[in-house]
Amino acid sequence: MSGGVDSTVAAALLKERGFEVIGVTMRLWDGEEEGSCCSLSSVEDARRACYKLGIDYHVLDFRSDFEKNVVDYFVDEYKNARTPNPCIACNRFLKFDAMLEKARLLDADLIATGHYARVERDEKSGRYILRRARAKEKDQTYVLYSLTQSQLSKMYLPLGDIESKDEVRGIARRLGLDIADKPDSQEICFVPDKDYASFIERYGGAKSEPGDFIDSQGNFLGRHKGIINYTIGQRKGLGIAFGKPMFVTRINPETGEITLGEKGSEFSSKLIADRLNFITFDAADFEPFEALAKVRYAASPAPCRVAPIGGGCASVEFETPQRAVTPGQAVVFYDMDFDRCIGGGTIKQ
């Protein structure tokens, strides 16, 4: 329980449905700032909500796991010219892995969260499947694609069948919860000011070295302030004027060079993904398939063909080029009805 309206209403719905509910807040980071999902005020909001709902409440310490699996990963990815997704890592390694171990110690059978998605068991295949939430604008299957069959079997997502966020807030008002109109948390909890570069330099203990902007032919265009300050597809904040739109198309961590291209160069029709995880079938040996894919959380689903290429990787070819295909980010696959999440992987190149 983060102290927000989603997880609080999820707990309330579980209690109404007859479950024995225990509220748990995960202590993740020592530097929690006010306004983040891990702040002291959020912990107090969660505590008050549990008191109001009449359920037990615990704060559990996951700081070591969080630092290793989320913060270190976040910093290392940026240093290697990749753009990480810490929320996916947190879901995979903390909320539905380390937390599952703690749940067993509390004699809990399932883990429930305020995520907008649906988990169901497919009777024909015997596999657990991940379906998009009924509240399509809030769907969070993109950040849950990496979960395993074992993890999905222990999940319960009460908000998956809710039609809208307004309905969730309405339930909170009906229950007299004072967090009914609390704004959603938008930032990364350990970088609430969104200054990723300063955090990486402060946490990693090394300043990012300036380097060269070049074009696709290797011609010098200017100087940049360090690769951790940039991401693929970026146009604004380059620190140099060209008289026309220029986009980051490649970042080379070995040379420190950042390649820029003119409008149109930020689009790609194919990518290679690794760290694959499939939900609807066993990933050990899969056949090529057609799917809809999202290359970012907010991206529109795009038709593509996914094929194995060996080495635990897959090629993904799109019918129409996609903007800012970014190494380190997730590519997530859905069936052609855009309902079931097939799985996904990390964009390698």
Domain with 85 in it: what CATH number? 3.40.50.620
pLDDT of 32 strictly over 70: no
For 128, phi and psi rounded to 5 degrees? -80, 140
Give alpha helix (H) positions in 94-242. Answer: 99-105, 149-152, 165-174, 196-204
List 334's β-bridge partners, or say none.
292, 341
pLDDT at position 205, please?
A: 78
CA dihedral 88, 89, 92, 94 (to 10 degrees): -120
- Clarify whether residues 32 and 140 are in a common domain: yes
What is the distance between the alpha carbons of residues 40 and 3, in angstroms, rounded to a whole number? Answer: 10
What is the distance between the alpha carbons of residues 268 and 302, in angstroms, rounded to a whole number? Answer: 12
258 pLDDT tier (thresholds 50, 70, 90) = very high
Q: What positions carry a catalytic annotation?
A: 90, 189
pLDDT of 50 strictly over 90: yes
The three-point CA angle 13-334-344 to 5° equals 95
- Clarify whether residues 257 and 315 are in a common domain: no
Q: Is residue 181 part of a domain?
A: no
Domain extent at residue 325: 267-347
Residues of 9-45 as b/e, b for ≥16 C-beta within 10 angstroms? bbbbbbeeeebebbbbbbebbeebeeebbbbeebbeb
Q: In the listed set 245, 262, 279, which residue is the last one of a domain according to the structure? A: 262
Q: Is residue 179 part of a domain?
A: no
Average pLDDT over residues 3-24: 94
Q: How much of the chain is in helix, strand and coil states, percent to nearest 5? A: 30, 30, 45
- Clarify whether residues 278 and 256 are in a common domain: no
Quick one: which of 145, 98, 127, 118 has its CA closest to 275? 145
pLDDT tens digits, residue range 63-117?
Answer: 999 999 999 999 999 999 999 999 999 999 999 999 999 998 889 999 999 999 9
pLDDT at position 215, please?
A: 94
What is the distance between the alpha carbons of residues 279 and 129, in angstroms, rounded to a whole number? Answer: 6
- Clarify whether residues 257 and 293 are in a common domain: no
What is the distance between the alpha carbons of residues 183 and 37, in angstroms, rounded to a whole number? Answer: 11
Q: Is residue 285 part of a domain?
A: yes
For 161, phi and psi rounded to 5 degrees? -95, 0
Q: Is residue 197 part of a domain?
A: no
- Clarify whether residues 149 and 212 are in a common domain: no
CB 81 within 8 A of CB 227: yes
pTM: 0.93
Q: Which two tokens stand for residue 317?
A: 């070819």
pLDDT at position 186, please?
A: 67
Average pLDDT over residues 23-42: 72
Q: In the listed set 148, 174, 200, which residue is the last one of a domain according to the structure? A: 174
38 pLDDT tier (thresholds 50, 70, 90) = low
Average pLDDT over residues 208-224: 94
Q: Is residue 319 part of a domain?
A: yes
Total of domains in the chain = 3
Task: For tokens 């499947």, name the residue.
Answer: 129
